[in-house]
Structure 1
Amino acid sequence: MTLLCAPVRDEAIQKLEAITDPVQLLRGIFRVLGLMKMDMVNYTIQSFRPYLQEHSIQYEQAKFQELLDKQPSLLDYTTKWLTKAATDITTPCPSSPESPSSSRSVACSLPNGAGNNSEPLSPTMVLYQGYLNLLLWDPENEEFPETLLMDRTRLQEMAFQLHQLTVLASVLLVARSFSGEILFSSSEFVDRLKCITKALTEEFISRPEETMLSVSEQVSQEIHQGLKDMGLTTLSSENTASLLGQLQNITKKENCIRSIVDQRIRLFLKCCLLHGMQESLLHFPGGLILIERELAELGWKFLNLMHHNQQVFGPYYAEILKNIIHPAQAQETDVEHN
Structure 2
Amino acid sequence: MPKIEKTVLQNDPNEAESGARKPKTPGQSQENKSFCLDDHCPESQHEVLSVTDLIETVNEVSKLSIAHEIVVNQDFYVEESVLPPNSLEGRIMEMMYNAFWDHLEDQLSSIPPDFTCALELLKEVKEILLSLLLPRQNYLRNEIEEALDMDLLKQEAEHEALDVPHLSNYILNLMIRLCAPVRDEAVQKLESITDPVQLLKGIFHVLGLMKMDMVNYTIQNLRPYLQEHSVQYERTKFQQLLNKQPSLLDCTTKWLIKTAVDLTTPSPSSPESPSSSRMACSPPNWAANNSELPSSTMVLYEGYVNLLLWDSDIEEFPETLLMDRMRLREIESQLNQLTILASVLLVARSFSGNTLFSTPKFLDKLKCITKALMEEFNPRPEEAMVSVSEQVSYEIHQGLKNVGLNALSSEKTASLIGQLQNIAKKENCVRSIIDQRSRFFLKCCLVHGMQESLLDFPGGLILIKEELAELGWKFVNLMHHNQQVFSPYYEEILKDIIPPAQAQEKEVESV
Question: What secondary structure is seen at the aligned counterpart in 2 of 1:284?
Answer: coil
The reply on whether 1:317 has 2:490 as its aligned counterpart is: yes
The reply to whether residue 92 of structure 1 matches residue 262 of structure 2 is no
Out of 386, 404, 418, the residue aligned to residue 231 of structure 1 is: 404
Deviation, 1:26, is: 7.0
Instruction: Give distance in 1, aligned partners of 2:478 and 2:451.
Output: 17
- Structure-2 separation of matches of 1:267 and 1:74: 30
Aligned equivalents of 1:117, 1:46: Cα separation in 2: 53
Residues 72, 40 of structure 1: alpha-carbon distance in 2 compared, 3 angstrom cutoff: closer
2:235 aligned partner: 61
Distance 2:290 2:458 in 1: 25
Summarize the Cα distance change of 1:70–1:37 in structure 2 as closer, same or farther, 3 Å threshold. Answer: closer
Is 1:308 matched with 2:473?
Answer: no
Residue 328 of structure 1: how far off its partner (Å): 3.4
Alpha-carbon distance in structure 2 between the residues aligned to 1:168 and 1:73: 42
Pick the aligned partner of 2:430 from 257, 264, 289.
Answer: 257
For the residue of structure 2 that corresponds to 1:231, the secondary structure is coil
Match of 2:472 among 294, 299, 303: 299
CA shift, 1:117, in A, is 7.2
Decide whether aligned partners of structure 1 residues 25 and 95 sit closer, same or farther in structure 2, where only a CA change above 3 A counts: closer
Corresponding residue of 1:79: 253
CA deviation after TM superposition for structure 1 residue 203, in Å: 3.2
Q: Which residue of 1 aligns with 2:142?
A: none
Q: Distance in 1 between matches of 2:462 and 2:311?
A: 29
Equivalent residue of 1:127, what SS? helix
Q: Does 1:145 align with 2:318?
A: yes
CA RMSD of aligned residues (A): 3.3
Asked if the contact 1:147–1:313 (Cα under 8 Å) also holds between the matched residues in 2, the reply is yes
1:270-285 alignment runs, 5 A limit: 270-285=443-458
Long gaps (5+) in structure 2: 1-176, 193-202, 271-275, 277-288
Q: Distance in 2 between matches of 1:214 and 1:329?
A: 55
Shift of 1:256: 1.9
- Deviation, 1:204, is 2.4
1:307 shift after superposition? 0.4
Report the 3-state secondary structure (helix = DSSP H, G, I; strand = E; otherwise coil) of the residue aligned with 1:251: coil
Q: Give the distance between the partners of 1:151 and 1:186, measured in 2 at CA.
A: 39
Judge conservation of contact 1:166–1:261 (CA < 8 Å) in 2. yes
Aligned to 1:174: 347
Report the Cα offset of residue 119 of structure 1: 4.3
Kindly indicate which of the two structures has a greater share of residues assigned to helix: 1
* Closer, same or farther: CA 79–35 of 1 in aligned 2, 3 Å: closer
Once the two structures are aligned, what percentage of the paired residues are identical? 75
CA distance in 1, matches of 2:335, 2:310: 12
| Structure-2 residue corresponding to 1:186 | 359
Shift in Å, 1:257: 1.3
- How far apart are residue 206 of structure 1 and its match? 3.1
How far did residue 55 of structure 1 move?
A: 1.4
8 Å CA contact 1:90, 1:117 repeated in 2: no
Deviations 1:190-245 (A, max 9, x none): 11111111122233233222221111111111111111222221111010011011
The equivalent of 1:111 in structure 2 is: none
* Cα distance between partner residues in 1 of 2:448 and 2:434: 21
Q: In 1, Cα distance between the equivalents of 2:504 and 2:261?
A: 16
Aligned partner of residue 375 in structure 2, secondary structure: coil
Using the alignment, how far apart are the partners of 1:118 and 1:72 within structure 2?
A: 32
**CA-to-aligned-CA distance 1:44-83 (integer Å, 9 cap, x gap):** 5454333211211111111111111111111111111111
Give distance in 1, aligned partners of 2:398 and 2:211: 52
For residues 359 and 397 of structure 2, the distance between their equivalents in structure 1, rounded to whole angstroms, comes to 14
Structure with higher Rg: it is: 2
How many residue pairs align between the two structures? Answer: 301
Kindly indicate whether the alpha-carbon contact (under 8 Å) linking 1:123 and 1:331 is maintained by their aligned counterparts in 2.
Answer: no
Compute the TM-score of the two structures, normalised by the length of structure 1: 0.79
Equivalent position amino acid for 1:303 in 2? V
For structure 1, the residue ranges without an aligned partner over 5 or more in a row are 17-22, 97-102, 104-115
Query: In 2, distance between residues paired with 1:267 and 1:157?
Result: 18
Q: Is the 8 A contact 1:148 1:309 kept in 2?
A: yes
Query: What is the letter of the counterpart of residue 461 of structure 2?
Result: L
Deviation at 1:246, TM superposition (A): 1.0
AA aligned opposite 1:78: T
Shift of 1:254: 2.6
Q: Deviations over 1:262-287 (max 9, x none)?
A: 11111110010001111111111111
Checking the alignment, whether the CA contact within 8 Å between 2:242 and 2:248 is kept in structure 1 is: yes
Contact 2:385 2:421 in 1 (8 A): yes
- What is the correspondence of 1:96-245 to structure 2 with a 5 Å cutoff? 119-141=292-314, 143-245=316-418
SS in 2 for 1:78: helix
The SS at the match of 2:460 is: coil
Which has the larger displacement, 272-281 or 208-217? 208-217
2: CA distance between counterparts of 1:329 and 1:190?
A: 51
Quote how far apart the aligned CAs of 1:39 are: 9.0
Q: Partner amino acid for 1:246?
A: Q
Scaled by the length of structure 2, what TM-score is found?
Answer: 0.53
Tell me, yes or no, if the aligned pair for 2:293 and 2:498 is still in contact at 8 Å: no
Q: 1:37 to 1:65 in 2, by over 3 A?
A: closer
- Mapped partners of 2:506, 2:220: distance in 1: 36
AA in 2 matched with 1:130: G
